[in-house]
Amino acid sequence: MNATGCRIGLWSNGDPPHVYLLRIEPAPGQEEVNWRELRDIPKKSQELADVDTPILRSELVPVTDFLSVMRECENYIKAHQGESVFQEVFKLIFAKLYDERRNLKNDSSPAVFRVGAFESAADAKKRIQKLFRDAKENWKGVFEDGEELLLSDESLAFCVSALQKSYLLKSDADILGSAFEVMINPDMKGDKGQYFTPRHVIRMCIDIIQPKENESVFDPACGSGGFLIGAMDHVFRAIRADRDDESEILENQKDYSSNNVFGIDFDRTIAKVAKAYMLIWGDGRSNIAVEDALNETNWHVSTNSKLVVGKGKNAKFRQFNLIVTNPPFGGDISSEETLSKYSLAYKQMANGRAKRLNKVARDKLYIERCLEFLAPNGRMAIVLPRGTLKNYTDEYIRRYILREARVVAVVSLTGTMFKPFTNTKTCVLFVQKRKAPLTDLTKAKDDPAIVFAVSERPGKDKSGNLVHLPDGTVDSDLGEIAKKVADQAVWN
């Protein structure tokens, strides 16, 4: 198009929606042309302005490859300015979701989140900036009060053009979530041992745990909120199946997400995604805190109000019915302030005395922290390195688990499950907390039989890419395993 000076280009893989681009001639003194996406091309009797009409809700389509859209925005932003790509694109997504939720009330409603083919980029930015501010005001707690859109007028217009035809609220949450996770700096995830949990692993855990409408759920290492969204989706479907009044369904769903779903993550950027997820899909307040879940000493007062009951010496952690989590594997904790809070930081020596260790793996401390938050008879699914369940040196960890909880099931995952982030072989441990800890470990032999399963089809290849069947589903045996374990597991 540049070589020929052609104004309009179209390309297609044969199936709609096709892609139409309009070439915008450079302003005087500029060399580089700009591009705007058109929603259609004019018919023989039409002018260009005839196809530059408002976008209606009926014209939006669920996105099937959101990562490609985000990559397109990323490439443009990187080529034209130095702002954080994820932070800025996420602001736009936040504004678009607000537009869909608040302004698109019926199929004839026009979208505010759009940029016209002939609209100046500056005018488009003013409108999108207002939309973002309204979203911040309505959905508090995700962005700081002073945060604004930092993209240049042209970069913003390009990204809005790429996003404007998508119907995000009607898109698969897995598609959106996976794109968000890929866009977050992978180096940041690897350094801190954070490995986003594949969606089919989350579904297996939720199908086995079986959250109920009256049960609270907590993830102390929630990341982008995958497990929490999985629990919400499971309960939402049950609410819809039990009721036929749409207003009652929506009200009960909102009550559940606002009152029963909680999470913590220490990374502010990742927690921001989780907060947005909770607000958007639950349409209620977000109970996501940005804290170090392993050390409550400096928790914000708002976090304490949600997760701590009582004050002073009488303060205790809130008790949750369910915990589903994949804690960070990487890094040891050596802080004396943190280690002093944990029984697992002390190891029994040959002389019978307990010695505090100089450092303890982060995931081992999460085991104790999760059991502290779990109510008696509460159910838990936790992803752990396989070595924790087999290493000779970790026998004291397993004894602690058996004292505090009954092991219900163990599902072994392959070494490719968390690629490309790590080769660590993992297991999912399913336990139910005892009403009181065992004083005699031999009594654990009276517990019901443990259900064991080994995954042989992880749904990923050796490079960590998802492997799909012809129908688009992930080629994994975790669905079969979930059914087997759910059928055979004994929960009190």
Residues 327, 438: one domain? Answer: yes
How much is the pLDDT for 187? 40
Q: Among 304-308, 460-464, 478-482, whose mean pLDDT is lowest?
A: 460-464
In percent, the amount of the chain with pLDDT more than 90 equals 52
How much is the pLDDT for 193? 44
How much is the pLDDT for 178? 66
Whether 3 is in a domain gets the answer: no
What mean pLDDT do residues 459-472 have?
A: 85
End-to-end C-alpha distance for the chain, whole angstroms: 68
Q: Which domain holds residue 412?
A: 193-488
Does 139 or 307 have the greater pLDDT score?
Answer: 307
Residues 263, 154: one domain? Answer: no
Number of domains, the chain: 2
Strands (E) located in 196-250: 217-219
Residues 16, 101: one domain? Answer: yes
Q: Tell me, what CATH number does 426's domain have? A: 3.40.50.150
How much is the pLDDT for 311? 87
Residues 470, 405: one domain? Answer: yes
Residue 477 banded pLDDT, cuts 50, 70, 90: very high
Residues 217, 166: one domain? Answer: no
Angle between helices 173-183 and 85-102 (to 10 degrees): 160
User: Is 80 exceeded by the pLDDT of residue 10?
Assistant: yes
Residues 159, 211: one domain? Answer: no
Residues 270, 161: one domain? Answer: no
> pLDDT by residue (tens digit) across 183-240?
665 443 444 445 578 889 999 999 999 999 999 999 999 988 889 999 999 999 999 9
What mean pLDDT do residues 321-346 have?
A: 92
> pLDDT by residue (tens digit) across 431-458?
999 999 999 999 999 999 999 999 999 9
Q: Among 5-19, 125-139, 333-347, 432-446, whose mean pLDDT is lowest?
A: 5-19
User: Is 80 exceeded by the pLDDT of residue 396?
Assistant: yes
Q: Please, what is the average pLDDT of the chain? A: 88
Backbone angles phi, psi at 127, to 5 degrees: -70, -40
Residues 204, 353: one domain? Answer: yes
How much is the pLDDT for 476? 95
What mean pLDDT do residues 276-290 have?
A: 77
**Under a CB-based contact definition with an 8 Å cutoff, are residues 97 and 176 in contact?**
no
Does 455 or 138 have the greater pLDDT score?
Answer: 455
How much is the pLDDT for 285? 67
> pLDDT by residue (tens digit) across 256-270?
999 999 999 988 888
Residues 328, 457: one domain? Answer: yes
- The SS3 of residue 9 is strand
Structure tokens at 431: 């336990």
How much is the pLDDT for 181? 66
* CB neighbour list of residue 177: distance below 8 Å, 6 or more residues apart: 199, 224, 225, 226, 229, 273, 277
Give residue 18's identity as a one-letter amino acid code: H
Whether 437 is in a domain gets the answer: yes
Highest average pLDDT, of 21-30, 425-434, 455-464, comes from 425-434
Using CA atoms, how far apart are residues 235 and 215, in angstroms rounded to an integer? 10
How much is the pLDDT for 100? 92
User: Is 50 exceeded by the pLDDT of residue 126?
Assistant: yes
Residue holding tokens 């080994």? 454
Whether 361 is in a domain gets the answer: yes
Residue holding tokens 């010496």? 313
How much is the pLDDT for 363? 93
| Rg (the chain; Cα; Å) | 25
Whether 180 is in a domain gets the answer: no
Whether 239 is in a domain gets the answer: yes
Using CA atoms, how far apart are residues 177 and 427, in angstroms rounded to an integer? 23
Residues 164, 279: one domain? Answer: no
Residue 427 banded pLDDT, cuts 50, 70, 90: very high
Q: Which of 119, 138, 173 is the last residue of a domain?
A: 173
What mean pLDDT do residues 35-64 have?
A: 81
Using CA atoms, how far apart are residues 36 and 66, in angstroms rounded to an integer? 19
Q: Which candidate, 109, 90, 30, places its Cα nearest to that of 269?
A: 90
Residues 140, 223: one domain? Answer: no
How much is the pLDDT for 173? 67
Whether 2 is in a domain gets the answer: no
Whether 346 is in a domain gets the answer: yes
> pLDDT by residue (tens digit) across 354-392?
888 999 999 999 999 999 999 999 999 999 999 999 999
Residues 280, 388: one domain? Answer: yes
Using CA atoms, how far apart are residues 404 and 399, in angstroms rounded to an integer? 9
How much is the pLDDT for 487? 96
Whether 230 is in a domain gets the answer: yes
